[in-house]
Amino acid sequence: MENVNFAVNNVWMMLCIALVFIMHLGFSLLEIGLTRAKNTINILFKNVMVIIIGLLTYTLVGFSLMYPGEIFAGGFLGFAGFGIPLPENGLSAEYVGGNYTFYTDFLFQAMFAATAATIVSGAVAERIKLSGFISFAIIYVGLVYPIIGMWKWGGGFLDELGFYDFAGSSLVHSVGGWAALVGIYHLGPRIGKFSEGEIKVIPGHSIPLSTVGAFLLWFGWFGFNGGSVLSADPGKTSLVLVTTCIAASAGGLSTFLFTRLRYKANDLSMVLNGILGGLVGITASADVMGIFDAFIIGAVSGILIVLSVSFLEKRKLDDPVGAVSVHLTCGVWGTLAVGIFGSMAGLGQLFSQIVGITAIAAFAALSSYVIFLILKHTNELRVSEQEEIEGLDAHEHGTAAYAELKYE
């Protein structure tokens, strides 16, 4: 019976790996749909490279930084060596209760790692140099993300403190969100976004593609959160999938209603981001929330999306796809919610959550600031005005995404 449970757990986790992998297609379609046609290949190229970079850097150093075994520097750092070291007992991953194989766990975690850079891709779209983004992704995915992940999931100081983040509202989404915020600060807005004292709408070229992307992301979240149970336990997995879907639906609904009341508009792109905000918000606590808790977390996330987008635009911070609002704002909210709702609610837990959010924010923001500052001073950050106007597809790739399309 033990061997059967091991096999079932392993198959479930491999299915979740495939679902998380599909999320990268969702991110790609969401981003190209919300941006202009002349930058389509560039955005797709970045998302392809993120997967390649994420897998290889996580293989080389990331996994060993995130799960080092022995931790030093007061619980802030550890390193098990280059490559993927097999455990002494062969393929069973003992640190997840021996529920599935070591290699399955590695690949599941590697899929998470690439997500942090994918979040940044959308925020800095349409004006960042390809070489600059790739350089950033190598450093951020290879070093910054796994070090922060180790603080909780690898047994570091946040784990000792009692900080809780089930599947990564902070450890994945806010880590990408902080880098996205710092990136758009260094890059500045797209040409024409803020002119003559007005906030101009730069419409994306395909809302249908964005909608497909959002649905793929929701679909992939079944693996993102469901796999974070770290087994195929029927009760726990079912609870996680239900709370995940409730929060996503509540996020979409509250965004629709709030946008309707505030702007008298039925904005599909905002509703799509509301769904994603609900998903990000529940990711920290999908296993410890009830139905009503999940609804409230998702609904608040949806409202925060609208307020966050407005806040950023008033400060002339240009985020073409709303990545900062979805992943940073809702990631922080979802992490705080662990101490407010559900079975872990309490002042002590809330304090641990605040400490974790602060530590992650400080390290992620500072490290990304330094990386982007170096890229800026080495002229590897922003494309020229002519390249931006004519499109990155033509200048970075020498081709167009759509045959016989005349770009404007």
Q: Is residue 405 part of a domain?
A: no
Task: Note the pTM of the prediction, 2 decimals.
Answer: 0.95
Query: How far is 178 from 170, CA to CA, in rounded Å?
Result: 10
Identify the DSSP state of 208: H
Q: What is the pLDDT of residue 391?
A: 94
Q: Determine the Cα–Cα distance for residues 380 and 128; give it in Å rounded to an integer.
A: 8
Give the pLDDT of residue 381. 96
Backbone CA torsion sign across 120, 122, 123, 129 = positive
End-to-end CA distance of the chain: 63
Contact (CB, 8 A) for 296 and 341:
yes
Phi, psi values for residue 107, rounded to 5°: -70, -35
Q: Is residue 171 part of a domain?
A: yes
Question: What is the tally of structural domains in the chain?
Answer: 1
Residue 216: give the domain boundaries.
2-397
Please indicate, yes or no, if residue 402 is contained in any of the structural domains. no
Residue 403 lies in a domain: no
CATH number, position 166: 1.10.3430.10
pLDDT at 57: 96
191 domain residue, yes or no: yes
State which H helix or E strand residue 194 sits in. Answer: strand 194-195
The pLDDT of residue 404 is: 61
Cβ atoms of 103 and 115 closer than 8 Å? no
pLDDT at 86 (0 to 100): 67
Q: Is residue 352 part of a domain?
A: yes
Name every residue whose Cβ is closer than 8 Å to that of residue 4 and which is 6 or more positions away in sequence.
none
Would you say residue 127 lies in a domain? yes
Domain for residue 407, yes or no?
A: no
**355: which residues sit within 8 A by CB, 6+ positions away?**
158, 161, 163
**Taking the chain (408 residues) in consecutive chunks of 10 residues, what is each chunk's mean pLDDT?**
82 96 97 96 96 95 91 88 73 67 90 90 96 96 96 95 97 97 97 89 95 98 96 96 98 98 95 98 98 98 98 96 98 98 95 98 98 96 95 92 66
- DSSP assignment letter at 77: B
